[in-house]
Amino acid sequence: MSTLPTDPILSCEASLAYEKKFFGGDEELEWQAMNKAGEGVGDALLRDMRELRTIPHRPRLLTLVGKGHNGGDALIATKRFLRTIPTARAVILPLVSWEDCRPLVQRAWKELTELAEKRIELIETSADFLQELEKKTGDRGFDALIDGLLGMQAKLPLRDPLPSILKWVNDSEKIAVKASVDLPTGITENGIEHPLRADFTYCTGIVKELVTDSENADFVGRLRYLDLNFFTNDRIENQSKRVLQSNALSTLRKLRCVEGDKRTHGHLFLLAGSRNFGGAAMMAAKAALKAGVGLLTVGIPESLHAAFVSQLPEAMWVPLPETPDGAIALEGLGKVRQFLGRATALVAGPGIGEEKETHALIREVCSLFEGPTLLDADALRSEILNKLTNLDNLVLTPHAGEFNRLANGDSPSHWIAGKACTLVLKGAHTQVLTNRERLYCLGGSTVLARGGSGDLLAGIIGALLAKNKYSNQDAACLGVQWHGRAGEVLARQHGQESVMTTEILDYLSFALRNEF
Per-residue pLDDT of the chain (516 residues; tens, 9 = 90+): 889 999 999 999 999 999 999 999 999 999 999 999 999 999 999 999 999 999 999 999 999 999 999 999 999 999 999 999 999 999 999 999 999 999 999 999 999 999 999 999 999 988 899 999 999 999 999 999 999 999 999 999 999 999 999 999 999 999 999 999 999 999 999 999 999 999 999 999 999 999 999 999 999 999 999 999 999 988 888 899 999 999 999 999 999 888 888 888 999 999 999 999 999 999 999 999 999 999 999 999 999 999 999 999 999 999 999 999 999 999 999 999 999 999 999 999 999 999 999 999 999 999 999 999 999 999 999 999 988 888 889 999 999 999 999 998 899 999 999 889 999 999 999 999 999 999 999 999 999 999 999 999 999 999 999 999 999 999 999 999 999 999 999 999 999 999 999 999 999 999 999 987
Q: How big is the chain by its Cα radius of gyration, in Å?
A: 25
Instruction: Tell if the pTM clears 0.85, that is, is over it.
Output: yes
Q: Hey, CA dihedral for 37, 38, 41, 44, is it positive or negative?
A: negative
Q: How far is CA 391 from CA 369, 417, 459, in A?
A: 12, 13, 20
Q: 61 Cβ partners below 8 Å, 6+ apart?
A: 78, 81, 82, 88, 89, 90, 91, 142, 143, 144, 145, 146
**Residue boundaries of the structural domains of the chain:** 6-237, 263-513
DSSP secondary structure of 95-153: SS-GGGS-HHHHHHHHHHHHHHGGGEEE--TTS-HHHHHHHHHTTT-BSEEEEES--TT
Per DSSP, the residues of 411-427 read -HHHHHTT--SEEEE-S
- Return the pLDDT at 143: 98
Q: Report the DSSP pairing between strands 144-148 and 267-271.
A: unpaired
**Residues 335, 367: contact at Cβ < 8 Å?**
no
**Measured on CA atoms in the order 501, 506, 508, 513, is the torsion positive or negative?**
negative
CATH top-level class of 263-513: alpha beta
DSSP state, residue 380: -
Q: Give residue 260's pLDDT.
A: 80
402 close to 412: Cβ distance less than 8 angstroms:
no
- What pLDDT sits at residue 405? 93
**Confidence (pLDDT) at 263:** 85
Q: What is the pLDDT of residue 53?
A: 95
CATH architecture of the region 6-237: 3-Layer(aba) Sandwich (3.40)
Smallest CA-to-CA distance from 343 within 393, 404, 412, 402 is with 393
